[in-house]
Structure 1
């Protein structure tokens, strides 16, 4: 079963993203911020991460940098999903290691398509 970690401080957004991913029959685990996500990642390695940027304690940029610098998680695709939607925000998301960047509000199909494509590249979804 494909495991996805959703890191989002807004409970409503966290639930929305989780519900969309569960429709794809993915196993979804959630974290309310980057620090909680890092604690989860000490024990388990997901197949993909969807992360907000603006969060308390550890933000999405820092989370992305840490994941990409750790040999255990460096190949895990990361989708940044943020209300920060300027070209500069997208640039910094990709510069910090994101594999995709989706601006909020987003169309549900955009998230589904992006996640599906990234997992297909890894041979984890048909």
Structure 2
């Protein structure tokens, strides 16, 4: 198995441009069986003022783009995480996408960070460990 781990520099205040950067890096990782993105890469972990206004549901630009990209590069894609809005709650969520663009798993972070972080104040913790069958 070939795995690519990608680190992305956030374009401060511009989620669309940051997503474009991720797309470029993922395309460069073509040939990997699994591509892994970092935590809260699309807005930045410490950008607490952006968590709620830029939260997305499953139809948002981050997941939609990554589903299509997994198909394009024919790889499993771990989305890193992004702030997900589900009902009236917000989560630090990550997804595993198949090379066919299907969602195989959704994990919501269980241990929200406290020290110098507002993550625990703004987000709801997940409630289970996830194992995905590939």
TM-score for the superposition, normalised by structure 2:
0.39
- Comparing both structures, which one devotes a greater share of its residues to helix? 1
